[in-house]
Each structure stands twice: as C-alpha cells, then as structure tokens.
Amino acid sequence: MVFSIEKEMRVIGLFAIFALFAIPSLAHAQIGERAGPLQFNVSIGGNETIPWTIFNNGNSTVYFVTYVGALQQSDNQITPTIVLMPVNGSIAAHSSIDLNITVYMPAQNQPGRGSWSTILQVIQTSNQTASGGSAVIMAGLAKAMDIVSKLPPPTTTTIPTMITQSESIFPLGSAAIAIVVALIALGAAGYMLSQHKKRTARKRARKAPAKRARRRPAARRSSARRSRTPRARSSARTTRRRRRKR
C-alpha cells in the first residue's frame, strides 16, 4: 500500500519528510506486466502455451490469485479450453513469475473459423482485515487474450523398410544374382576358348617345322646341319623355348 503524501505529512513531521524522499523504497509491493494482448493461433486438435510475465517491483513479497474469463461461443465452433498455471502463488520482491496459459483447440473445430476473446486477471491478495462497513481494495492486472484456430502443420510419414533374412545375404536380389552368374560363365567360357586357341596355335607351330624338315632335300638338310653355328643353334633353342612357353 502506498499512502498518499497528505496523510504522511499529517502523521509524523520528520519521518514524513524522510518518507517523502524514500517513498520508492517504502512503497508496498506493486505488480506489473508487459503491454499487449496475448495472441493464440492454435492448431485444430492441438494446443499452444504462452507465458504471461508478472513483475513485482516492490520491496515485499506479493501473493496473488488468477482468474480466467469465460469465452463466448463463436460461429458454431466448440469453445476451446484455457488452463492458467499457477492459479495462485507469490512473487518475491524485485522479481517476476511466468504464468503459463495453455489453450486446447477441439479437433472437431474447423480451422480458420471462430475466434474467441477473454480477459485474464491477476489479483494481488491482501492480508488486510477489513472492519465492519469497510471495503477492502485489492489491486490487480488484466490482460486481453485472443484465440483463433488454424490447420495443423503437415506431418511427414516415414515408411519403414523391411529387410528379410534372404535379402540380408543376397542384397542385390534374384535378378542381380542371375546377371552376375551369367557374367562369370561368359568370362570362363572366354578364357577357355582363348586357352584352346593358344594350344592349337602351339601345336601347329610344332608340326610346321617338322613338315618343312621332311620336305627339304637331304644335302640341304645335312649342309644346314653342318652350317649350324653355335649362335644359330642357340637361336633355335630360344625359339623352341618361346614356343613351349606359349
């Protein structure tokens, strides 16, 4: 409670002068709020919570109770539910508290249709005992609140992938298995064919010198034998070795 200046000066002289300069520090607790209505835009079937901050800039603890005004039915829509927590409590000196207001929007409502308004109240409860014929004055704060509904946000659905035992061993699938087997078979066939060709070519190469040797006249053959130098013999050996390797 903040006494009026006139009462202070009538009661005590020096103390009144001191009180005049010290009123801010002697002031009873005062509650405050930030300006502006609370705007709720609530998804159908969902809820939204907004804090309402109440300050105590006085030097003593403030005790309070809260009230939520009634909502009017709107446009054939079901009235949403409002929950304000805490419903009562205290705020220490020079501190603040957040009162959480939650609005629950019925799922049956249509998005964008219907709007609701009401007043929230925080009343500073007093420990003043009124005597007969007295009214107790209680200070409070009022906050306008507006509610509209909206479509819920789109949800993404993840389709789980089923992995069977067989797929875990052969992850490529049956078609891929067939392709791999075919490639292996083709490769093996090609290798075998190339080996056969090489063997055939070597056989032919071995037969051809023998045939040419049989066709050559004896003198030529013997002179060829006589004229074979060590170098020629070595060259011939090398050639035979190469043919064998092939």
The residue ranges that bind another protein (CB under 8 A) are 1-4, 24, 27-28, 30-36, 55, 57, 67, 69-70, 94, 96, 119, 121, 123, 126, 128, 130-144
Q: Are 170 and 180 in contact (CB under 8 A)?
A: no
Q: Which is nearer to another protein, 222 or 239 (CB)?
A: 239
Q: Which is nearer to another protein, 51 or 209 (CB)?
A: 51
- Is the dihedral angle over the CA atoms 211, 217, 223, 227 positive or is it negative? negative
CB of 231 to another protein, least distance (A): 9
Q: Which is nearer to another protein, 105 or 143 (CB)?
A: 143
Q: Which is nearer to another protein, 135 or 210 (CB)?
A: 135
**Residue whose token pair is 């249509």:** 110
Measured from the Cβ of residue 62, the count of other Cβ atoms closer than 10 Å reads 25
Q: Are 82 and 103 in contact (CB under 8 A)?
A: yes
CB of 208 to another protein, least distance (A): 28
CB of 205 to another protein, least distance (A): 25
CB of 86 to another protein, least distance (A): 17
Separation in Å, CA 66 to CA 137, 142, 151, 210, 219: 16, 10, 31, 120, 135
